[in-house]
Amino acid sequence: MNINNEGERYYKEGIALVNRGDKSSAIASFQKAAEHFQSSKDLNRYEEAQAQIKQLRG
């Protein structure tokens, strides 16, 4: 699995965790997604993951 697919997997996991109300686990998933997106130079998706983290942290 390539880095970007890993990022997408963690991002989708974060969304699912938000929907279940598990905020702290969702933040961890979005952080992992952001790391993968940054490594693959997908800065748009990196910024989206960071925005999710910021929103969850309030």
Which pLDDT value is given to residue 4? 66
Share of the chain above pLDDT 70, in %: 93
d(C-alpha 33, C-alpha 41), whole Å:
12
Structure confidence by residue, pLDDT tens digits, 13-40: 999 999 999 999 999 999 999 999 999 9
pLDDT band at residue 2 using 50, 70 and 90 as cut-offs: low
How buried is 50 (Cβ within 10 angstroms: 0-12 exposed, 13-18 middle, 19+ buried)? Answer: middle
Q: How far apart are CA 24 and CA 21, in angstroms?
A: 9
Report how far apart, in Å, the C-alpha atoms of 27 and of each of 1, 39, 44 are.
22, 18, 18
Based on the structure, what is the number of domains in the chain? 1
* 42: containing domain: 3-57
Q: Which residue has the higher pLDDT, 12 or 1?
A: 12
- Does residue 3 or residue 49 have the better pLDDT? 49
